[in-house]
Structure 1
């Protein structure tokens, strides 16, 4: 008997490449998935193409529209057992320095929108289903570096929020995980000059999300784990010399 048959997963920002891989893997494990995104047309095509119509429900969700988040949650047909916040937005640091609208969109999508909707989900004490909240963060948020400190600051804020949320929900036995992720071969990174040997495939990263355990910080790939540990211990004088 499949122990996940009556459980459901809510994926916010479900149109990302990693999120789509999560949808497929959660369905394969027996979960029912509610996939939420602004681009529901693309998601519906994806669900139909992968013959998952009976296992996935697509809903409209806009991380930037804070005033809609409570209604979105209230209207969910079933309250989630697992929540994955996968929404993300990235622009070049030079562009973000000069165009605050781009910075603002990163702040809202990567952090503020997440806090808005996850606070609503986390404070619903009537939802006895909730077992886990997973947030997709980034290695860019481990230390401030001149090449990406604006984007990195949004991810650092999100990781800190998730750490506190983990403590807040511990008494209810709800686990919180932060996926601290390096380079992925996705559309958000298209056009960037990245080290090919460090690039991970979306399906590979999705496995770490779908199989998240008790650890708060999850860093997929041993190379990125080493980079993560180095970044954590490097003195500021050396961090300043990084690109």
Structure 2
């Protein structure tokens, strides 16, 4: 018997390319998925086009930036999750974010504040004895501040630190918290950016690291990105300043 039957995965920001591949892989493993996003029509189309069992995938409306709605969203869930994943993300060009605070604000709200808002609610529901794991999608951009993307990177750095503290907070309840620290992915969010092709990862490849997350806090998909991650962490400030 599949041990994942009757287990529920809640994916917040489920319209991202990585999140969609995660939906498919979780369903293949026997989980039921609640896919939540602002664009429910696109998610419905994705479920239909991929012939996913409608009894296994529920599509709900969720706005990461509508903080006041988050408690009602969670309370309205007919079943509470075993696994919760925050996959919502937003990116604008760093120069645009520097000159127009609205872009910077939206990155802060989607990448950090929305995650803190909904995950606090999920984590603090002690009546949900089934909760076993929380996964947040972060980025290598948050490892060190670099002049090309430090505003976006700061939101991801803050989210990673939040997840690290949440992991400690929930350890006594045996709930695992993982931070997926991700490099370049071939997704719609990165379309038009000049990125190194040899470092690009496919969404389904990254999704495997979500679906098969273990006990480690930091998960860095791809050995090339693991090397870059460790180099960034130890690189002297004067060398970081020379990076783009």
TM-score (norm 2): 0.99
Q: Distance in 2 between matches of 1:22 and 1:106?
A: 23
Q: How far 1:38 sits from its partner (Å)?
A: 0.1
Q: How many residues align?
A: 243
**Secondary structure at the counterpart of residue 146 of structure 2:** coil
Matched, 1:32 2:24: no
Q: Secondary structure at the match of 1:191?
A: coil
Q: CA deviation at 1:177?
A: 0.1
Counting only pairs closer than 5 Å after superposition, residues 186-225 of structure 1 correspond to structure 2 as 186-225=187-226
Output the CA distance in 2 between the equivalents of 1:31 and 1:185: 26
Q: Match of 2:68?
A: 67
Aligned twin of 2:147: 146
Over the aligned positions, Cα root-mean-square deviation in angstroms equals 0.4
State how far apart, in whole Å, the 2-side matches of 1:121 and 1:5 are: 21
Q: Aligned equivalents of 2:224 and 2:135: distance in 1?
A: 22
1:22-61 correspondence to structure 2 within 5 Å: 22-52=22-52, 53-61=54-62
1:48 Cα deviation after fit: 1.1
TM alignment of 1:68-107, pairs within 5 A: 68-107=69-108
Residue 7 of structure 1 and its aligned partner are, at CA, apart by 0.2
Once the 2 structures are TM-superposed, how far is the Cα of residue 157 of structure 1 from its aligned partner?
0.1
1: distance between equivalents of 2:215 and 2:44?
Answer: 32
| 1:67-117 CA distance string (max 9 Å, x none) | 000000000010000001000000010010011001000000000000000
State the secondary structure of the residue aligned to 1:192: coil
Q: Report the counterpart of residue 176 of structure 1 in structure 2.
A: 177
Runs of 4+ in 1 over 6 A off after TM superposition: none
| Structure 2 counterpart SS, 1:167 | helix
Shift of 1:145: 0.3
**In structure 1, what is the Cα distance between the partners aligned to 2:101 and 2:236?**
30
Residue 11 (structure 1) aligns with: 11
Shift in Å, 1:50: 1.3
Alpha-carbon shift at residue 156 of structure 1 (Å): 0.1
Distance in 2 (alpha carbons) for counterparts of 1:191 and 1:50: 26
Query: What is the distance in 2 between the residues matched to 1:194 and 1:61?
Result: 30
